Amino acid sequence: MTDPIDIARDMLKQVIDPEAGLNIVDLGLIYDIRRKGDALEIDMTFTTEACPVGPSLLAEVQEVLKDVQGIARVDVDVVFDPPWSPERISPEGRALLDG
């Protein structure tokens, strides 16, 4: 895996929503990851606009992405349009929740 977008997506699986017990990728919180020059642009959401763990998740996103090779800058944009819905949870995430 050499594409910084794939690497970033994989690394973001280390960030766990402490209430759901799922990583933020399988939870469907990462809407988009784009590369723009030496920067990564990430569109991210929370399960609710009032999510109390939001700031802590953002801090963790910053922490896990700080060492991605070839990337000098990461912009995380928190968006609520479209709002998160449970349909965004991945099949792997659903299996974990059901278990």
Partner 1 sequence: MTLVASSFLGGAKSRLLPASIPFRFFGAAVLFHVAFWVLLFFGAEDLSRFVGGQGPVLGAIHSLTLGVFAMAAMGAAFQLLPVATKAPLMAVWPARLASWLAIPGTALLVTGMTTSLHELQALGGLLAIGGLVIFVMLVADNLRRTSGMVLVTSNAWVAVLSLVAILGLGFLLIVDQEHGLLPDHGRVAIAHMVLATYGFMGMLAIGFSYILVPMFALSPAPSAAMGKSSLALSVIALVLTVGGVLSSSAALIVVGTIVGLVGVVLHLRLMVETLDRRMRKQLGPSFVLVRLAWVFLPLSFVLGSAMTGDLVSRAPALFGFAALVGWLLTFVVAMLQRIVPFLASMHAAKTGRAPPLVSALTPEAPLKVHFWCHLAALALIGFGIALDLSMVIKIGVAIGCVGALAFVAFFAMVMVRLARQRSAASP
Instruction: Confirm or reject binding of residue 34 to partner 1 (CB under 8 A).
Output: no
Q: Are strands 73-78 and 39-44 parallel, antiparallel or unpaired?
A: parallel
Reduced to 3 states (helix: H, G, I; strand: E, B; else coil), residue 3 is coil
The CA R_g of the chain, rounded to the nearest whole Å, is 13
How near is the Cβ of 1 to partner 1 at its closest, in Å? 19
Nearest-angstrom CA–CA distance, 69 and 50:
33
Instruction: Confirm or reject binding of residue 29 to partner 1 (CB under 8 A).
Output: no
Instruction: Confirm or reject binding of residue 5 to partner 1 (CB under 8 A).
Output: no
Q: Which residues bind partner 1 (CB under 8 A)?
A: 14-16, 18-21, 47-56, 58-63, 65-66, 71-79, 83, 85-86, 89, 94, 97-98
